[in-house]
Amino acid sequence: MTTAAALSAGAAVDLPSVSYGQVKAGAAKPYGTDPDLQKVYRPGDLWSLTFDARQIKTAGALADVILPADDLGPAASTLGVVDMLDEWVSAPYDTQQKDRPVILDGLVWIDAESRKRFQKDFADLPESGKTAICDAICDPAKAVKEFRTAARFFSKFRALCAGAYYATPDGWKALGYVGNVALASFDGPPPEVLAQLGVEQTVV
């Protein structure tokens, strides 16, 4: 399964509605048959990818500002997040095609803004420089007029990164998600959870 498929399975983002068989965009011609979701695909197997080396580098640096390595898990760029972003903007579906210019233009903007401020590409900045740029665009409601488009890019980019990151096993660990793991026994919800909900355990 590709990282895009994993995101579709595990992320709370705006995803296209698909069903096995023909996938259509409104009344437009069908894209073709859906992929076999039980088969493992490598990036680029389903459609041609978009990112060039520079875009990969910029996207990876920005993803790591948003989701850096810490005590909860590794950096986003080490978990295939950039691969998923590349697949996302390359996919033929309506939602992804609408997101494509937002992401691609945003990556161009952030490098241009970095060169304007610091005479370096975004990926080559120290963390303080990266953070300074991100601070200006991380909240669309507070961004100044000239940065509003960039702020919308950042919001979309951040949502896609989070969706990809937390659809991975390392992301599950960061959230404390256990998943479908067989238990030798189940003693019911923890007492602290019951107390927080104000309910009692009645089934034994």
pLDDT tens digits along 130-166: 999 999 999 999 999 999 999 999 999 999 999 999 9
The pLDDT assigned to 204 comes to: 66
The pLDDT assigned to 41 comes to: 86
Q: Is residue 190 part of a domain?
A: no
Q: Is residue 187 part of a domain?
A: no
Q: Is residue 146 part of a domain?
A: yes
**Mean pLDDT across the chain:** 86
Q: Is residue 108 part of a domain?
A: yes
Q: Which residue has the higher pLDDT, 113 or 40?
A: 113
Q: Is residue 9 part of a domain?
A: yes
Using pLDDT thresholds of 50, 70 and 90, give the confidence band for residue 10: very low
Q: Is residue 32 part of a domain?
A: yes
pLDDT (mean) for 10-25: 41
Q: What is the 3-state secondary structure (H, E, C) of the chain?
A: CCHHHHHHHHCCCCCCCCCCCECCCCCCCCCCECCCCCCCCCCCCCCCCCCCHHHHHHHHHHHHHHCCCECCECCHHHHCHHHHHHHHHHCCCHHHHHHHHHHHHHHHHHHHHHHHHHCCCHHHCCHHHHHHHHHHHCCCCCCCHHHHHHHHHHHHHHHHHHHHHCCCHHHHHHHCCCCCCCCCCCCCCCHHHHHHHCCCCCCC
Q: Is residue 46 part of a domain?
A: yes
Quote the pTM value. Answer: 0.76
How many domains in the chain? Answer: 1
Say if residue 21's pLDDT is above 60.
no
Say if residue 106's pLDDT is above 90.
yes
Domain that holds residue 74: 3-179
Q: Is residue 29 part of a domain?
A: yes
pLDDT (mean) for 8-13: 42
Range from 7-11, 107-111, 115-119, 145-149 carrying the lowest mean pLDDT? 7-11
